[in-house]
């Protein structure tokens, strides 16, 4: 018989177990992990460095990084913030650093520091870590919970589910009466086949990216095209865009994928994305600027003149896409050339056909309906003594440590409530 069973040996599960054992040393705590190893997502996150959290210390600005859960996390972040998480690790001998883009990493630059910290803490507090213990069933008893794994039954007063996007657990909760918001991928990169970016993978540039509304064609045309109002993009953001072997990635693309998780699923991941490689310029402003360059640099070739601060190979591809010959000098550039180049620079449109999972931080939108959780304690509103933390609930963040912060905060508040009973 345990006081607490934590299902899930990931970030939320370990953080909760340690907080419970530390707050109430008399509690017997066990972590059930279905796999052979624990903390596997912690190990690969942030390119193996572990992006622990986001260096935003105001609850409101931190909560803005969550396409789903923004309102619900505001209160919890006042109680356990990114600052508290940083203090937790630093007090346990893991110094952290805040990088210029506000992402927080161990100073050691390896996720092993975080893993070792958790393993030492579980050992210190006598927390049982049971691997190869996938939860097959859990049921409410008169005084607590019975949890069944492949070969054992466990009893506990309190059950904390930190099982991430585990469809089997969601199905069990659904059968019990919890509403599960259907899961869809949240952080993913865009698959694009386009000559403009073929063979130049590895190039990164700050850009503004947007997804225009998808045109739905019907047999009845009721509006003349000229009179149709200019449609605003359904999604837009800015940040570094990375050209990859399979298309586009980088923080700006991942942000779009998170905010557009459900819309892009409805689009079946076939849509257009517009990239403004020069976010400070509109198309019209860029045309004016290029006309000035034509006046100032008449004898130079367009291909070899980097009029805009862009990676050289990207500039050359965009010049080619604007149908400007390699040997053409600025003096010979036509109005049409300038218009084409301005459009390639400011509304560079790509057709996206499919997605690829962002392996470092695979996240799912969907999970337990937020209306069925008490966000002061992360306890189920339907079943007393049943708690949730992490990705199992319908909360997901953009890339940059937000998803871990959701895990830490939920785990902490659930732990405090459990340990105080």
pLDDT per position as a tens digit, 13-36 = 999 999 999 999 999 999 999 999
**pLDDT class of 357 with cuts at 50, 70, 90:** confident
The pLDDT value recorded for residue 220 is 44
Q: Quick check: 217 pLDDT over 90? A: no
Which of these three, 306, 340, 357, is where a domain ends?
Answer: 357
My answer on whether 270 and 403 are in the same domain is no
Rounded Cα distance, 173 and 302, in Å: 62
My answer on whether 402 and 274 are in the same domain is no
My answer on whether 231 and 173 are in the same domain is no
In b/e form, how buried is each residue of 111-146, taking b as 16+ CB within 10 angstroms? bbbbbbbbeebbeebebebeeebbbeebeeeeebbe
My answer on whether 149 and 206 are in the same domain is no
The pLDDT value recorded for residue 225 is 38
Pick the closest to residue 112 from 20, 165, 46, 163 (CA basis): 46
My answer on whether 211 and 349 are in the same domain is yes
**For the chain, how big is the Rg over CA atoms in Å?**
26
The pLDDT value recorded for residue 224 is 39
My answer on whether 141 and 178 are in the same domain is yes
My answer on whether 160 and 119 are in the same domain is yes
**pLDDT class of 226 with cuts at 50, 70, 90:** very low
User: What DSSP state is assigned to residue 195?
Assistant: T
pLDDT per position as a tens digit, 248-264 = 999 999 999 999 999 99
User: At 373, is the secondary structure helix, strand, or coil?
Assistant: strand
Angle, vertex CA 62, rays to CA 415 and CA 392, nearest 5: 45
The pLDDT value recorded for residue 215 is 67
Rounded Cα distance, 324 and 146, in Å: 71
**pLDDT class of 361 with cuts at 50, 70, 90:** low
Containing 12, the helix (H) or strand (E) segment is helix 11-23
The 3-class secondary structure across 270-336, one letter per residue, is: EEEEEEECCCCCCHHHHHHHHHHHHHHCCCCECCCCCCCCCCHHHHHHHHHHCCCCCCCEHHHCCHH
Q: What number is the average pLDDT over the span 352-361?
A: 81
Q: What number is the average pLDDT over the span 384-400?
A: 96
**pLDDT class of 306 with cuts at 50, 70, 90:** confident
Distance of CA 49 to the CA centre of its chain: 16
Which of these three, 339, 357, 375, is where a domain ends?
Answer: 357
The pLDDT value recorded for residue 362 is 76
- Please tell me the pTM assigned to this model: 0.90
321 and 344 Cβ atoms separated by less than 8 Å: yes
Which of these three, 357, 374, 401, is where a domain ends?
Answer: 357
Q: What CATH number does residue 78 fall under?
A: 3.50.50.60
The pLDDT value recorded for residue 232 is 82
Q: Quick check: 322 pLDDT over 60? A: yes
Average pLDDT over all residues of the chain: 94
Angle, vertex CA 197, rays to CA 195 and CA 200, nearest 5: 120
Structural domain for 312, as ranges: 188-357
pLDDT per position as a tens digit, 199-212 = 999 999 999 999 99
pLDDT per position as a tens digit, 276-299 = 999 999 999 999 999 999 999 999
Containing 142, the helix (H) or strand (E) segment is none
How many domains is the chain partitioned into structurally?
Answer: 2
Residue 249 burial by Cβ neighbours in a 10 Å radius (0-12, 13-18, 19+): buried
Q: Quick check: 219 pLDDT over 80? A: no
My answer on whether 113 and 261 are in the same domain is no
């Amino acid at each position: 018989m345990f006081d607490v069973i934590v299902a899930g040996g990931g970030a939320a599960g370990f953080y909760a177990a340690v907080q419970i054992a530390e707050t109430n040393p008399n509690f017997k705590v066990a972590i059930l992990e279905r796999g052979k190893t624990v903390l596997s997502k912690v190990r690969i996150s942030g390119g193996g460095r572990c992006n622990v959290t986001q260096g935003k210390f105001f609850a409101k600005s931190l909560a803005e990084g969550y396409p789903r859960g923004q309102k619900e996390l505001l209160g919890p972040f006042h109680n356990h913030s990114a600052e508290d998480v940083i203090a937790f690790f630093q007090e346990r001998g893991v110094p952290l650093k805040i990088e210029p883009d506000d992402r927080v990493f161990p100073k050691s630059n390896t996720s092993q520091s975080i893993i070792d910290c958790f393993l030492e803490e579980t050992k210190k507090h006598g927390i049982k870590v049971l691997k190869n213990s996938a939860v097959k069933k859990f049921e409410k008893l008169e005084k607590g919970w019975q949890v069944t794994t492949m070969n054992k039954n466990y009893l506990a007063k309190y059950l904390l589910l930190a099982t991430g996007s585990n469809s089997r657990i969601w199905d069990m909760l659904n059968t019990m009466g919890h509403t599960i918001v259907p899961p869809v991928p949240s952080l993913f990169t865009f698959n694009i086949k386009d000559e403009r970016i073929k063979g130049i993978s590895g190039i990164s540039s700050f850009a503004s990216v947007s997804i225009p509304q998808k045109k739905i064609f019907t047999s009845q045309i009721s509006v003349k095209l000229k009179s149709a109002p200019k449609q605003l993009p359904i999604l837009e953001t800015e940040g570094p865009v990375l050209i990859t072997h399979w298309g586009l990635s980088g923080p700006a693309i991942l942000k779009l994928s998170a905010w557009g998780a459900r819309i892009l699923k409805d689009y079946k991941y076939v849509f257009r994305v517009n990239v403004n490689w020069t976010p400070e310029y509109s198309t019209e402003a860029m045309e004016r600027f290029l006309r000035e360059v034509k006046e100032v640099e008449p004898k130079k070739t367009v291909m070899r003149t980097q009029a805009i601060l862009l990676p050289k190979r990207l500039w050359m591809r965009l010049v080619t896409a604007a149908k400007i010959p390699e040997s053409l000098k600025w003096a010979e550039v036509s109005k049409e050339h300038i218009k084409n180049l301005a459009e390639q620079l400011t509304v560079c449109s790509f057709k996206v056909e499919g997605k690829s999972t962002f392996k470092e931080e695979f996240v799912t939108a969907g999970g337990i309906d937020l209306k069925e959780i008490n966000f002061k304690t992360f306890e189920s509103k339907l079943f007393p003594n049943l708690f949730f933390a992490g990705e199992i609930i319908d909360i997901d963040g953009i890339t940059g440590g937000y998803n871990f912060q959701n895990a830490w905060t939920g785990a902490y508040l659930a732990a405090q409530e459990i340990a105080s009973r």
